[in-house]
Amino acid sequence: MRGTGRVALKSMASAPHRVAILFPAEPGRIHSIRLDETRLARIAAALREAGIEVDGVPYADEAADEVRERLLRTDAVLVWVNPIERGRDRSVLNAMLEGVAGAGVLVSAHPEAIRKMGTKEVLYRTRSMGWGCDTRRYPTFLALRHELPRCLAAGQPRVLKQMRGNGGDGVWKVEPARGRVRIRHAKRGSVEEETSLDRFLRICEPYFAAGGGMIDQPYQPRLPEGMVRCYMVRDRVAGFGEQPVNALHPAAPEPGPRLYYPPSRPDFQPLKERMEREWVGELCRSLALDGTRLPIIWDADFLYGPRDSSGADTYVLCEINVSSVYPFPDEALGPLAAATLAQLKARR
């Protein structure tokens, strides 16, 4: 049932839908920055073309109460705020958004979806899906110290990832090397080095400090061929991105810009079909996530896996991004606006 603070505003069925776009701002600019001055202006234009009123709402933790009151006067809020930025997290924001959602406002991405889809835990929970691989989870530092040496004894390189991070921070390639280990951090500017396993474990220990953990996957030998990003508008593919990847492969060239493609790109049609027909549904079941909570826009990053018996590409999930997906292909703007409008109409 909708919150009482919104009933009067939306009492007329013919009233236009009103959507807030929430974006980050410095505390001192909350009242001066305008949505049309930001990179999200084209999203606002697409929503307006669909007949939706758009309210740009700058956000900073210090103004959370004021922002909450503004959001309660809307039908929906689309959120573009990074989960980790300038030493802050989303704890204040998420609590506010959950309260707004509880009052009847559509929130995308909802904090529940971010918790379930937006950390590396999703790689472990979906490891049995067609995009999965031999994925292990180390919930504690003791588990890492006990299990990683046995895993490395197989002689194959592994990739370890902290549960939440960006820019390659906390992502490591590690492989056995004559009684020691060879490691390479994915953070830009890092170099490969050989060290003791004990020292590498000490490097990883801080990742467990706040109740986090690490995910462990096999290194994908086709990594230098690049990464494919699949942009989703709820449960439909709305475009692709493709970018060379070199963070964990010293012989690969410098990464170029990500290139964007429409959902009709011919060689990615098998990936599109599997996402729409199989993997999105399996993802929701694996995470116990109601399909109506899928974000309006999100993306899944894939590395190329081993080719199958027919020589066709397979794909291994590398990461899912749900909290601040931008930029994305122009072809996704129309579907994003249409999906937003459809959800709003379904809720009236």
Tell me the pTM.
Answer: 0.89
Q: Could you read off the pLDDT of 168-184 as tens digits, one per residue? A: 788 999 999 988 999 99
Q: CA angle at residue 342 from 336 to 347, to 5 degrees?
A: 130
Provide the domain count of the chain.
Answer: 3
pLDDT tens readout for residues 100-112: 999 999 999 999 9
- Among 73-87, 195-209, 320-334, the range scoring the smallest mean pLDDT is 73-87
Contacts of 77 by beta carbon, 8 Å cutoff, 6+ apart: 19, 20, 21, 22, 57, 71, 97, 100, 105, 106, 107, 108
Residues 206 and 281 both lie in one domain: no
pLDDT tens for 300-343 read 999 999 999 999 999 999 999 998 899 999 999 999 999 999 99
* Whether the predicted pLDDT of 28 surpasses 70: yes
Given this model, what pLDDT does residue 326 score?
Answer: 92
Is 50 within 8 Å of 78 (Cβ atoms)? no
Q: Are 44 and 36 in contact (CB under 8 A)?
A: yes
% of the chain exceeding 70 in pLDDT:
90
Residue 293 dihedral angles phi and psi, to the nearest 5°? -90, 0
Is 263 found in the same domain as 186?
A: no
Assess whether 127 and 237 both reside in one domain: yes
Q: For the domain that residue 39 is a member of, what is the CATH number?
A: 3.40.50.20
User: Does residue 333 sit within a domain?
Assistant: no
What are 229-241's pLDDT values in tens digits? 999 999 999 999 9
The residue range of the domain holding 95 is: 4-109+338-347
On the CB side of 56, CA atoms within 13 Å amount to 21
197-204 vs 141-152: helix crossing angle, rounded to 10: 140
Assess whether 310 and 342 both reside in one domain.
no
pLDDT digits (tens, 9 = 90+) for 240-283: 999 887 677 665 556 668 899 999 999 999 999 999 999 999 99
Q: Are strands 106-108 and 76-79 parallel, antiparallel or unpaired?
A: parallel
| Of 193, 218, 243, the domain-final residue | 218
Q: Is residue 140 part of a domain?
A: yes
Assess contact for 247 and 171: CB atoms under 8 A: yes
Asked whether residue 77 falls in the same domain as residue 187, the answer is: no
Which two three-digit tokens encode residue 264?
């009709």
Name the least confident of 19-33, 51-65, 139-153.
19-33
Alpha-carbon Rg for the chain, nearest whole angstrom, is 22
Does residue 85 share a domain with residue 205? Answer: no
What's the whole-number average pLDDT of the chain? 90
Between CA 9 and CA 2 the distance in angstroms is 11
pLDDT over threshold 90, residue 77? yes
